[in-house]
Chain A
């Protein structure tokens, strides 16, 4: 029989390159099929300088000066590394009322803190995985932390789910010898979702749970005795709305927080980001926070009939109060990837500003103000 027999009547398709398009559906035949789409394109280097002071009536108390550095660098199409370093120098005293007068918090002593963190994030087609480490060191305190976070993006990139887990190991060696080799271990878990609502609105909601055990007392505060376990649940929701007509952006956030010390807090923030001519941006902001006191917080004077060793604190941080922070930030685009910003915030804490209930009566109003000035370059 002959090789070329009857006409076969094969009809060949005329679609150009149809086979190439089909072949690209085969797994792994061409690179770029599992590549990042959300990795940062550009690096950032930013330097900020913080000048912080706080005071109570008649007394200048504490001053902090802190230069800080932040670097973000894409290592490849799909890997980025970011890190920051901060160096605080704290001069002055901690709260007057409840101090023992010796040790690191004593008046006129300067303390230093060095803290750094680094995080590497690998971006995949539909997800990003970040691994981070952080450390902070003071004369009487050493903290080390590690974290893993995973973000999963929806196909249209309008929704992101975030899962995070972190661990922290702290060691406390107080200068006054009250706490020696004390430790604290904390595990954090975070679940979050970010949803683009429209071309002008985005919302994020995070639920974070933290469980720690170890030494929570303040060794510099007389008789301060706190539980050796602390669990915290925080729920943070942030919402950004762009207003195209005036090119402004409104940012609001609310955080509910409750911890096993018995303190509940509500924190609300609003900021208005307003670009103005010549590359400037003005951002006024306002923050309000209110918290209830910890179960073992006692207003001065020292409670009568206190059993030594029973839970007790007079730390104003665990008292009931409200606090307001107005702020103003001015940023300038200097061109060529350079930008600069300066921000002033003024913080006032009053027991009478507590919402839902009365504040702790015995605390003196605390005020603070801080200025941060920064410069950044995109490269």
Chain B
């Protein structure tokens, strides 16, 4: 029995080492903490309003290098799978809103962007790296956690989204 408890810890640890859900962060299978954050026009966007939809939550900042590469890809995801019901919510964690706005001028987003300058949401989600992304299924459970942004993993994540959306 003892042995078994330890082994589950091992699985969790090896997952953390691989960047697929942290040992202390929101993990696959869990329901992530709720949030209610303003978008650029000040309207409140909540995670719960997308219940029933496949949702991709991305934490980003203007100063984060890989985030610059992830935006064009998320734009492409939105174009390809938006009509199939995919929702992308990008949570900005810049302390200064102006920094985020300058980033968005350079690399406009065609998906929802919300702002959390206080960093409450990444703290609640225990975000492990910048950027970090969470793929959430229609039941509100996390099905994948991506820490960092790697070209080599784009295909895998897209395939995962496709399978959740049942897009052949």
Do A and B have CB atoms closer than 8 angstroms in the complex? yes
Known contacts A20-B144, A21-B144, A42-B65, A31 near B152 by CB under 8 Å: yes
In the complex, are the beta carbons of B143 and A25 less than 8 A apart?
Answer: no
In the complex, are the beta carbons of B141 and A35 less than 8 A apart?
Answer: no
Q: Mark A131-160, 1 if CB is under 8 A from B, else 0.
A: 000000000000000000000000001000
Report the count of interface residues on A (CB-CB < 8 A).
Answer: 20
Q: Quick check: is B84 within 8 A (CB to CB) of the other chain? A: no
Known contacts A16-B139, A17-B160, A31-B153, A22 near B18 by CB under 8 Å: no
Shortest distance from the beta carbon of A137 to any chain B beta carbon, whole Å? 36
* Residues in A whose Cβ lies below 8 Å from that of B150: 31-32, 35, 77
Q: Mark A21-35, 1 if CB is under 8 A from B, else 0.
A: 110110000111101
Q: Quick check: is B156 within 8 A (CB to CB) of the other chain? A: yes
In the complex, are the beta carbons of A77 and B15 less than 8 A apart?
Answer: no
Known contacts A32-B152, A37-B129, A41-B68, A24 near B15 by CB under 8 Å: yes
In the complex, are the beta carbons of B18 and A24 less than 8 A apart?
Answer: yes
In the complex, are the beta carbons of B137 and A25 less than 8 A apart?
Answer: no
Shortest distance from the beta carbon of A377 to any chain B beta carbon, whole Å? 16
Q: Mark B2-19, 1 if CB is under 8 A from A, else 0.
A: 000000000100110011
In the complex, are the beta carbons of B28 and A17 less than 8 A apart?
Answer: yes
Complex alpha-carbon distance, A18 and B160, angstroms: 12
Q: Of B129, B141, B148, which one neighbours A16 at CB under 8 angstroms?
A: B141
In the complex, are the beta carbons of A20 and B160 less than 8 A apart?
Answer: yes
Residues of B28-47 contacting chain A, CB below 8 A: 28-29
Q: Mark B101-142, 1 if CB is under 8 A from A, else 0.
A: 000000000000000000000000000010000000101010
* Residues in A whose Cβ lies below 8 Å from that of B129: 37, 157
Shortest distance from the beta carbon of B86 to any chain A beta carbon, whole Å? 15
* Residues in A whose Cβ lies below 8 Å from that of B156: 30, 32
In the complex, are the beta carbons of B148 and A21 less than 8 A apart?
Answer: no
* Residues in A whose Cβ lies below 8 Å from that of B14: 25
* Residues in B whose Cβ lies below 8 Å from that of A157: 129
Shortest distance from the beta carbon of A145 to any chain B beta carbon, whole Å? 30
Q: Quick check: is A102 within 8 A (CB to CB) of the other chain? A: no
Q: Of A17, A31, A37, which one neighbours B144 at CB under 8 angstroms?
A: A17
The residue in chain B whose Cβ has the minimal distance to the Cβ of A157 is B129
Q: Determine the interface band of chain B, counting residues with CB < 8 A from chain A.
A: 20 to 34
Q: Quick check: is B25 within 8 A (CB to CB) of the other chain? A: no
Complex alpha-carbon distance, A145 and B20, angstroms: 42
Q: Of B20, B148, B153, B164, which one neighbours A25 at CB under 8 angstroms?
A: B20
In the complex, are the beta carbons of A35 and B152 less than 8 A apart?
Answer: yes
* Residues in B whose Cβ lies below 8 Å from that of A35: 148, 150, 152
In the complex, are the beta carbons of A15 and B18 less than 8 A apart?
Answer: no
* Residues in A whose Cβ lies below 8 Å from that of B15: 21-22, 24-25
* Residues in B whose Cβ lies below 8 Å from that of A24: 15, 18, 20
* Residues in B whose Cβ lies below 8 Å from that of A17: 28, 137, 143-144, 160, 164
Complex alpha-carbon distance, A37 and B18, angstroms: 13
Complex alpha-carbon distance, A77 and B69, angstroms: 11
In the complex, are the beta carbons of B144 and A15 less than 8 A apart?
Answer: no
Complex alpha-carbon distance, A157 and B153, angstroms: 21
Most chain B Cβ neighbours within 10 Å, of A18, A32, A37: A32
The residue in chain A whose Cβ has the minimal distance to the Cβ of B20 is A24
Residues of B48-106 contacting chain A, CB below 8 A: 65-66, 68-69
* Residues in A whose Cβ lies below 8 Å from that of B160: 17, 20
* Residues in A whose Cβ lies below 8 Å from that of B143: 16-17, 20-21
* Residues in B whose Cβ lies below 8 Å from that of A77: 150-152
Known contacts A16-B137, A16-B139, A37-B129, A21 near B65 by CB under 8 Å: no
* Residues in A whose Cβ lies below 8 Å from that of B20: 21, 24-25
* Residues in B whose Cβ lies below 8 Å from that of A21: 15, 20-21, 28-29, 143-144
Shortest distance from the beta carbon of A287 to any chain B beta carbon, whole Å? 29
Known contacts A24-B20, A30-B153, A41-B68, A15 near B29 by CB under 8 Å: yes
Shortest distance from the beta carbon of A379 to any chain B beta carbon, whole Å? 13
Complex alpha-carbon distance, A32 and B149, angstroms: 9
Shortest distance from the beta carbon of A116 to any chain B beta carbon, whole Å? 28
Shortest distance from the beta carbon of A39 to any chain B beta carbon, whole Å? 9
Most chain B Cβ neighbours within 10 Å, of A25, A40, A42, A157: A25
A and B contact pairs by CB, cutoff 8 A, 6 listed: A15-B28, A16-B139, A30-B153, A31-B150, A41-B65, A41-B68
Interface residues in chain B, defined as those with a beta carbon under 8 Å from any beta carbon in chain A: 11, 14-15, 18-21, 28-29, 65-66, 68-69, 129, 137, 139, 141, 143-144, 148, 150-153, 156, 160, 164
